[in-house]
Structure 1
Amino acid sequence: MVLMNYLTTPNTLLCCLVILGLWLANPSRAEKADQDKPVILEAEKVSANDVKQVYDLNGQALLIKGSIVVTGEDGHITVDPQGYEFIDVVGRPEEVASFRQRREGLADEFMQGRGAQVTYDAKSEFLTLTGDASLKRLLNMQMLDQLKGWKIEYDDVKQYYRVIPPQDAKPEDLPLARAILSPRRKATLEK
């Protein structure tokens, strides 16, 4: 209820709409070539069930598929009958889980995120970062946009993201989400 009241204030709604509009102005998406790349799994221990298409990684997990790189302490990967991966990786207190993917379009544009847990659905191109999460859009290694919050959801197909505070957030704790966005016109001119 507290969150709902916070999200319905005029300033918050206006800010969310402006941020969403700026984010949507960028036409690039995840690199399509990643879909046809092999999956490379590394960890201290890898358990594979090729019949069920389920893979578990324990200890210093690393997943690479084309430009997608996911790291963490432990990971679980499930592959559906069409060949799409669902990736769930958790970090540890000293080292969080991370996600990085090159974007289609501009030569050196990347999405890079961190959190206690990273989940990525390759079929829907939906990324969720949970637990002191951050997500950045980089162009030529220069940060263009940055989001921070307890949970970040990013839908690459719809070019939509959402930053969510913890369920037990109190009004005095807010705002628990932060966005720094570069003007799209300037970012486009710096190609």
Structure 2
Amino acid sequence: MFAFNLLLPRVVVTLFLSLVLGTFIAIPAYAEKADQDKPVILEAEKVSANDVKQVYDLNGQILLIKGSIIVTGEDGHIAVDPQGYEFVDVVGTPEQVASFRQRREGVADEFMQGRGAQVTYDAKTEFLTLTGDASLKRLLNMQMLDQLNGWRIEYDDVKQSYRVVPPKDAKPEDPPLARAILLPRRKATLEK
């Protein structure tokens, strides 16, 4: 079994996970397809890797970049399944939330951008989950098209669907726990 720890104070650790992991993040049909062929670049205060189990732990000021995908947070975990799909789980701190950003295929400057206390992305199911005072925006030319806010936001890139889930302890008399701002598609198309 091969495992190593890199304990370097704020050192940029560049790993070409395509070589280390022997895999790429599977990118959904609507996400930027060019991301598939890009290396993964990791920056963290500490990286622990178990190449046999395909498990990688990151601690301290995480920055993960793969093509147009950018994930930030304080602590993270990457697991790779036998088919080569990655599962990324990153948490933030009270001062600095975790974030996810990815360019979308097609229109030149369209992005999905989200943040929350925890960000998880499953490359196999192409499913993004933002938890804890979460927000998700769809941006075109840096103008917001859609915005969701809530305790937990689920985004399925394959089905192009959003879902906002309240906390388990929410009561019916609580004020609305979800908010959505959706731009009419006809207007969004005309403004391109």
- Asked if 1:138 corresponds to 2:139, the answer is yes
Q: How does 1:20-169 map to 2 (within 5 A)?
A: 29-169=30-170
Q: Deviations over 1:129-156 (max 9, x none)?
A: 0000000000001111100000000000
Aligned length, in residue pairs: 164
In 2, distance between residues paired with 1:173 and 1:37?
45
The DSSP-based 3-state class of the residue aligned with 1:166 is coil
* Greater length-normalized contact order (CA 8 Å, ≥ 6 residues apart): 1
The AA in structure 1 aligned to 2:145 is L
Q: Give, in angstroms, the shift of residue 83 of structure 1.
A: 2.1
Displacement of 1:30: 1.2
Secondary structure at the aligned position of 2:79 is classed as strand
Alpha-carbon distance in 2 for matches of 1:120, 1:34: 15
**Equivalent residue of 2:35, what SS?**
helix
* Mapped partners of 2:84, 2:130: distance in 1: 23
TM-score, normalized by length of structure 2? 0.82
- Aligned residue identity for 2:60: G
Q: What's the CA shift for 1:33? A: 1.9
| Contiguous gaps of at least 5 residues in structure 2 | 1-28
Q: CA deviation at 1:106?
A: 0.5
**Percent identical across equivalent pairs?**
90
Write the distance in 2 (CA, Å) between the matches of 1:157 and 1:88. Answer: 20
What TM-score do the two structures reach when normalised by structure 1? 0.83
Richer in helix (by share): 1
Shift of 1:174: 3.1
Taking the aligned partners of 1:139 and 1:104, their CA distance within structure 2 comes to: 12
Runs (4+) off by over 4 Å: none
Hey, what does 2:10 align to over in structure 1?
none
Aligned partner of 2:99: which letter? Answer: S
Return the alpha-carbon distance in structure 1 between the equivalents of residues 42 and 106 of structure 2: 27
CA distance in 1, matches of 2:117, 2:125: 22
Per-residue Cα deviation, 1:15-34 (whole angstroms, up to 9, x for no partner) = xxxxxxxxxxxxx8211222
Unaligned runs of 5+ in 1: 1-27
Specify the SS of the correspondent of 1:171.
coil
How far apart are 1:50 and its partner, in Å?
1.5
Q: Find the aligned partners of 1:60 and 1:88 in 2 and give their Cα distance.
A: 14
**Shift in Å at residue 52 of structure 1?**
1.5
